[in-house]
Structure 1
């Protein structure tokens, strides 16, 4: 009697869900093209997923790919298809191959496995796998391998994997959730049924964060509420400054002549005799100055001062000057020049 498979922990269940999400598309296309029937391929993928989930806890994660593809390829639906199958014209070459050769080719161009990994999955040595792969390779009219047909077939398979319809993607997601739920222990399966399934968690992670409401632009009322305290403060400061500042209306303010400093200013009395009606008050002083015999000398006082200081005699410019000076190199007249 075989022991029951060990249930997965929540952390291992998350890792298993991520692994299945990464291989489920390729597995579905490989199974469908191998069987030539979409429904048969879906059943094979479901069987392989459930069998893999029951033993994933006993394996290292690095062993998961080989074990999953080995379980898928060993299902009766793919190893020995019972129905003849039906392929679209783009995949008509697959219908002409034997089941073993077709599976070897699909593991290469659909699952993306290299020769070593594919031979391990099929349980054969590398030489046998290369022979099966060579037998599945398209050939031209002369029987030689047709590289262009190989590339075209591989591109069609990759396009089919990439462009799965939304209903089929939803079907794969439901299958994955049911597999994970069945692999969890009973204590962890109850919250899953209540709405905490990996699918719900994934949808919650994908749900965009709520958008923040844009900030409202500042209105005139807002500006007034912010500026009014500043305006009141400015008025108070201005009032205080004016109340503590002495403003003088004296025109002599600032020139040192105002009577508000430590120097006492007193007006002197005018000793000059009062002028008669119609007389110039300065006429007597002017007459005395004009009658002074030293007036002419006083008028030329600046010249006499310059002369007394030994200043140079000015050049006499009353005579016409030569318009062109003699060259610097002209010979000087000497006593010998007269001889």
Structure 2
């Protein structure tokens, strides 16, 4: 089954973008130390990322590291190392090694690959890779291994990876994004040199002239307020004419005139009471009906007088009532004198 290559300017898979972003710093340092020049190394890294973008979808994810580092080491910029005029750091002495041993050492230290993975990248057997790595290790003059020099070499390479300059990181990021979008050409292969856009020589004087013209027009509008500026004449304005027209709004209809009396009645919040006069009367006598219902529930057939009013039989007559009573008069007349 054939795998179609990704179309230009298509979004890369998230896993592919994450992988390339993860190896970007290590790849930049490996290419720089292999070529002896940061500009050549960054250009080789940009080209390798662009090629890897095309081939990644047809390669299993487990084989991505080996394929990426193999593409990077196969770039033409890394075939010959630029000589260092005066070696200062331990990494500057890598030029004394051959291309193969130097690549084996950088794959082990800068790329962080194991011996098996490094051998797969270079296409050699694991014993051959181990032999190349032993030749690349620092040695004393008598042939003995130099552990201190080896440790300094590792520290310097790791420090380079962690402390890349900010402007170089910006260029590498731009090259990576261009490669992931499938953009090829000068944009993707010239990551080592900063892009300096050229602008016409007449552009800056023209901008300053337009700025001065705008400033003069603004000053003229304050100095001669009665006169018209060219912009006002172009709009058809005249001196002394108000720019804002003031017109009275038409009288609006009364809100109540939009609804009929029946509609207003139906929309009333107490429509149910207004539609039931008997219900209105019952609502007004609600207290009485509540008391009467309580009497019926208690089994009282006749209303009882209030408790605060004494019965009529227990009320004693007043002296005035006794004097005017007929019974009192009869008893008085029958009594002996």
| Length-normalised TM-score, structure 1 | 0.50
Structure 1 position 139, deviation (Å): 0.5
Counterpart CA distance in 2 for 1:145 and 1:93 is 16
Matching residue of 2:168: 168
- 1:110 corresponds to 2:113: no
Matching residue of 2:65: 65
Matching residue of 1:189: none
8 Å CA contact 1:138, 1:145 repeated in 2 = yes
Matching residue of 1:276: none
Structure 1 position 11, deviation (Å): 7.5
* CA spacing shift, 1:83–1:152, aligned 2, 3 Å: closer
- 1:36 corresponds to 2:36: yes
Structure 1 position 6, deviation (Å): 3.4
Matching residue of 1:95: 95
8 Å CA contact 2:84, 2:92 repeated in 1 = no
Structure 1 position 173, deviation (Å): 0.9
Counterpart CA distance in 1 for 2:53 and 2:11 is 14
* CA spacing shift, 1:9–1:82, aligned 2, 3 Å: closer
Matching residue of 1:214: none
8 Å CA contact 2:28, 2:42 repeated in 1 = yes
CA RMSD of aligned residues (A): 2.5
- Spell out the pairing of 1:250-329 with structure 2 (5 A cutoff): none
Runs of 4+ residues over 4 Å off in structure 1: 8-12, 85-88
8 Å CA contact 2:70, 2:121 repeated in 1 = yes
8 Å CA contact 1:90, 1:156 repeated in 2 = yes
* CA spacing shift, 1:152–1:168, aligned 2, 3 Å: same
Say which one has the larger Rg: 1
Structure 1 position 75, deviation (Å): 1.4
- Spell out the pairing of 1:1-339 with structure 2 (5 A cutoff): 5-7=5-7, 12-78=12-78, 80-81=79-80, 83-84=82-83, 88-182=88-182
8 Å CA contact 1:7, 1:57 repeated in 2 = no
Q: Residue by residue, what CA displacement relative to the aligned partner does 1:271-306 show, whole Å, maximum 9, x if unpaired?
A: xxxxxxxxxxxxxxxxxxxxxxxxxxxxxxxxxxxx
Q: Residue by residue, what CA displacement relative to the aligned partner does 1:201-242 show, whole Å, maximum 9, x if unpaired?
A: xxxxxxxxxxxxxxxxxxxxxxxxxxxxxxxxxxxxxxxxxx
Structure 1 position 168, deviation (Å): 0.9
8 Å CA contact 2:81, 2:95 repeated in 1 = no
| Length-normalised TM-score, structure 2 | 0.50
Structure 1 position 3, deviation (Å): 8.9
Structure 1 position 92, deviation (Å): 2.8
* CA spacing shift, 1:24–1:88, aligned 2, 3 Å: farther
Q: Residue by residue, what CA displacement relative to the aligned partner does 1:173-201 show, whole Å, maximum 9, x if unpaired?
A: 11111111127xxxxxxxxxxxxxxxxxx
Structure 1 position 120, deviation (Å): 0.3
Structure 1 position 5, deviation (Å): 2.2
Counterpart CA distance in 2 for 1:7 and 1:52 is 14
8 Å CA contact 2:138, 2:145 repeated in 1 = yes
Structure 1 position 14, deviation (Å): 2.0
Structure 1 position 141, deviation (Å): 3.0
* CA spacing shift, 1:82–1:115, aligned 2, 3 Å: closer
Counterpart CA distance in 1 for 2:98 and 2:170 is 32
Structure 1 position 145, deviation (Å): 0.8
8 Å CA contact 2:10, 2:182 repeated in 1 = no
8 Å CA contact 2:10, 2:181 repeated in 1 = no
* CA spacing shift, 1:19–1:3, aligned 2, 3 Å: closer
Counterpart CA distance in 2 for 1:82 and 1:141 is 24
Structure 1 position 64, deviation (Å): 1.0
8 Å CA contact 2:137, 2:150 repeated in 1 = yes
Structure 2: gaps of 5 or more residues: 184-337
